[in-house]
Amino acid sequence: MLSAVVTLSGCSYVGNLRMPSMPSMPSWISAPKAAPAPAVAPAALQATERTETWQGIYRQNAETGRFTECRTGAEMPVAQSGDSALLESAYLASRSAPGAPLWVEVQGRWVQRARTDMPPSANAKELVLLVERFVSMSSQTSCAAW
């Protein structure tokens, strides 16, 4: 099975870019990279000011993006700020079907925000992934290969 990886480093535009050696493939397709060493212990997902590299499974239903972190299996919503628009755009261009899972690598941090499914008066908080930089996306549908 062919596995394509989407890589968009430091850019905020995905157009009809083509690689000179492969005119039929978008220029943002590249080979997968080795996973970096874990930055935190698996059970330590908590709000932080420190940006780290995260790998996991991303899927989007309607307007809600969800990220399942590979090391812990924790599933969290993705904040709709930072580089999340670029992540969403790459996902929509690469998915095989609506809601299909794709492996992604992002740089970001976990932040607390008010829960969107509760009234503001409840003062309920949830942990979300703030994507500060979208790094890459692969057609892999699980964390097993990473």
Instruction: Please tell me the total count of domains within the chain.
Output: 1
Does the residue 117 lie in any domain?
Answer: yes
Residue 72 belongs to domain with CATH number: 2.40.50.540
Q: Give the angle subtended at the CA of 121 by the CAs of 126 and 63, to the nearest 5°.
A: 45
Does the residue 51 lie in any domain?
Answer: yes
Length in residues, the chain: 146
Does the residue 132 lie in any domain?
Answer: yes
Enumerate residues 6+ apart whose C-beta is below 8 A from 9: 135
CA 13 to chain centre: 16
Percent of the chain at pLDDT exceeding 90: 42
Distance CA 52, CA 69 (A): 12
Does the residue 109 lie in any domain?
Answer: yes
Does the residue 145 lie in any domain?
Answer: no
pLDDT score for 146: 55
Range of the structural domain that residue 11 is part of: 5-34+47-138
Does the residue 92 lie in any domain?
Answer: yes
Does the residue 124 lie in any domain?
Answer: yes
Does the residue 40 lie in any domain?
Answer: no
Which residue stretches of the chain have pLDDT < 50?
Answer: 1-43
- Kind of pairing, strands 5-7 and 102-114? unpaired
